[in-house]
Amino acid sequence: LVDIQGIYFNREAGLNYLNARSFDISSTDIQYFSVKNDDTDSVKTTQKRDSTDQSWSLYSILSPLLHRVKVDKIGIARTKFNYTLTQNDKTDIYTLHQFDFQANNFLVDSLSEKQKKFWYVDNFDLSATDINGLIVSNNSNINIGNLYLNTSDKEFSISNIKIKPLTTKTRSDYIIGNVGSIHIDGLEYLEGVSAQQLKMDTVNVEYFKISDGKAQKEKKDEVSPQTVLDYLTPYSDYLSVKNIILSKGNVVIHDRTAKNTYRLKELDFYATNFLIDNHTRYSSQYLFTCDDLGLSFNDFDHYSPDNNYRIQIKETNMSSLSGLLNMADVKLIPQEKTWHKAPEMY
């Protein structure tokens, strides 16, 4: 169902103008398809992206017929949205089984591209439920229970997130896990993406390290300092977050190459004034900067990489600002089965 209210057309100084009070769509099924060519040269990709954005802007498409299109309110309700992306001979499918969208003051004219309004509107709110991503390009199946974004309140949240591989018969690393919720306050999208706080709660992740050194090198080359910002925030110049908080985390690392498993229980993490931009990704050792970064976890209990010792740590706390690493109740226990290889002193 499509309903347009208060629509009128006028012509001034040889230019055409289309205006409407409201534009509403409900109970529809939207299918969107995108096909991209492979381009391994990051510089050429960026140049190609910039030129494509300019030549295929919404205004450039409409301008032969309409100099300006203005809609006071746009509403999309009870709609299913399916996005299919084909790139590098692989097809990823993203589905929002129920999608609702409200936007105010939609405007497309000759100044729209310079103003860089997100989706050509002053503000909008978006909610979706039962979201699924079949990401063949990354061997991942992602499910999200709920998503909410409100640009007036500068708030974004997703909850009940689950991720698993499409197949475990692979030579590449993969992740299995779930996240209770991710909440962002003070979200703004101008030249870059900024937020006051990003909070992640109840994070349970199992990381399976399958690949050898050669595969890891290829992966590092793929995500280079020149491309890391594009992976995090495409079409933006920076990512800035005042406070990042992770609480109630449990991380398990299965290192299949070394046949070891490592667990971090009750993991808490924080970072303040986190920033990644064109300057930090070249000048910073870790591609980003922050004022302070810290973490804590309990009941570390694992074997050393050579399996000669068992290492137990009751509590661990670390802060980059203070430069301190505190560990309580630390035990280093030699293993009886390797005593014959132990040095005279240990």
Q: What is the pLDDT of residues 168-186, one digit of tens each?
A: 998 889 999 999 999 999 9
Whole-angstrom Cα distance, residue 253 to residue 260? 8
Please calculate the CA angle 293-151-242 and round it to the nearest 5 degrees.
Answer: 15
- Residue 323 phi, psi (nearest 5): 75, 20
Question: Which pLDDT belongs to residue 205?
Answer: 94
Which sign does the torsion angle of CA 261, 266, 271, 277 carry? Answer: positive
> Based on the number of CB atoms within 10 Å of its own CB, is 202 exposed (0-12), middle (13-18) or buried (19 or more)?
middle
Reduced 3-state DSSP string for 307-340? CCEEEEEEEEEEECCCCEEEEEEEEEEECHHHHH
Q: Is residue 203 pLDDT above 50, yes or no?
A: yes
In one-letter notation, the amino acid at residue 307 is N
Angle CA 298–302–305, to nearest 5: 135
Burial of 166 (0-12, 13-18, 19+ CB in 10 A): middle
pTM of the complete model: 0.79
pLDDT at 313 over 80: yes
- How far apart are alpha carbons 279 and 118 in whole angstroms? 25
pLDDT tens for 69-121 read 999 999 999 999 999 999 888 999 999 999 999 999 999 998 887 777 777 89
Nearest to 297 by CA among 249, 243, 245: 249
245-303 pLDDT, tens digit each: 999 999 999 888 878 888 889 999 999 999 988 888 778 778 889 999 999 999 998 88
Give per-residue pLDDT as tens, 267-281.
999 999 999 888 887
